[in-house]
Amino acid sequence: MRNGAFAGIVFAGLMSISIATAQIADAMERGGSISWRFLSGNYEITGAISQSGTLSAGDPVMFGFQDLNNDGVALDVLLDLAQLLPDVGLNYQVPLIATVLSDDGITAIVRWTGALDPNECIQVNLGATVNVLVTHVEGSLQGAVMRIACQPDHLGLLPHYATLQVVPNGGDTYNYLRAQGYLFCVPQDTFLINARIFNMDWIGYGGGVPKSLGNVNEDCIVDDADLLTVLFAFGSSDPDTDVNGDGIVDDADLLTVLFNFGTGG
């Protein structure tokens, strides 16, 4: 198809398209991932061992959204405890299922909760390395998701610009990590220990529109600028304009832009 003829058809069809504001949850899911950083918190261990203290900030991590419970909403994440607590020895991934509690298009409240029962005897660092039969791990994160201006991810992990910021919401009731087990792997009440992380502060960034949806100029919206960029690069192998990554800018890339025209982060 000739570029000029195709462009004429395209612009004629786009005259009637308006750009709508999506719900926060839609924008979050469309972004495909969230960058997240634990900033601070407190920990407490009770039972056979009594300890407490503070936790310092961790390295930023990126969670790719998944639909772990097959409910049709890809906002679930796997919380890697080895990333959150690299020195403890809990090498588990806790599946956190997302629930959108409210969403007015400006701010959304999203809760991620999950648990697992490893029933595994492992070495854990509790000031000293000891064997612990880990029987239960559970976690919850609840965030207020708010729109921000299209900008680079402040944590430097997202492959595209961000349009959403996530901050803790709901206090200790919905932001915690808990674990239960038996010291020396002896399943008796005398050796029972309970650990928790609370008073958590964290931050996350998400949203935006990936290049795979036609946003080739990183302005967080698929519009005529993206269409023109793809048209001008038509037939080339420009990787920045090759929306589907197949090595050539062609009709498939143009159609992707068209199908997602008006999509904003």
Q: Nearest to residue 64, comparing CAs of 89, 91, 43, 93?
A: 93
195 in Cβ contact with 179 (< 8 Å): yes
pLDDT digits (tens, 9 = 90+) for 209-228: 988 888 888 888 888 988 89
pLDDT of 12 over the 70 cut: no
Percent of the chain with pLDDT over 70: 92
Q: Nearest to residue 148, comparing CAs of 258, 20, 28?
A: 28
CB atoms within 10 A of CB 137: 22
The span from the CA of 52 to the CA of 250, in Å, is 60
Name residue, tokens 């899911």.
29
pLDDT digits (tens, 9 = 90+) for 160-198: 999 999 999 999 999 999 999 999 999 999 999 999 999
Please tell me the predicted confidence (pLDDT) of residue 172: 97
Least confident stretch, 89-98, 168-177, 203-212, 255-264? 255-264
202 in Cβ contact with 112 (< 8 Å): no
Please tell me the predicted confidence (pLDDT) of residue 187: 97
DSSP character string of the chain: --HHHHHHHHHHHHTT--PPPPPHHHHHHHH-EEEEEEEEEEEEEEESS-EEEEE-----EEEE-B-TT-SS---BEEEEHHHHSTTT----EEEEEEEEEEE-SSEEEEEEEEEE---EEEEEESSSEEEEEEEEEEEEEEEEEEEEEEE--TTS--SS-EEEEEEE-SHHHHSEEEEEEEETT--SGGGEEEEEEEEEEEEEEE----GGGT-TTSSSB-SHHHHHHHHHTTTS--TTT-TT-SSS-SHHHHHHHHHTTT-B-
pLDDT digits (tens, 9 = 90+) for 48-74: 999 999 999 999 999 999 999 999 999
b/e per residue, 138-150, with b = 16+ CB within 10 A? bbbbbbbbebeeb
Give the pLDDT band (50/70/90) at residue 6: very low
For residues 65 and 257, the model is more confident at 65
Kindly report the CATH class assigned to 214-259. Answer: mainly alpha
pLDDT digits (tens, 9 = 90+) for 126-147: 888 999 999 999 999 999 999 9
Please tell me the predicted confidence (pLDDT) of residue 208: 93
Query: What are the sequence ranges of the domains in the chain?
Result: 24-206, 214-259
The span from the CA of 265 to the CA of 262, in Å, is 10
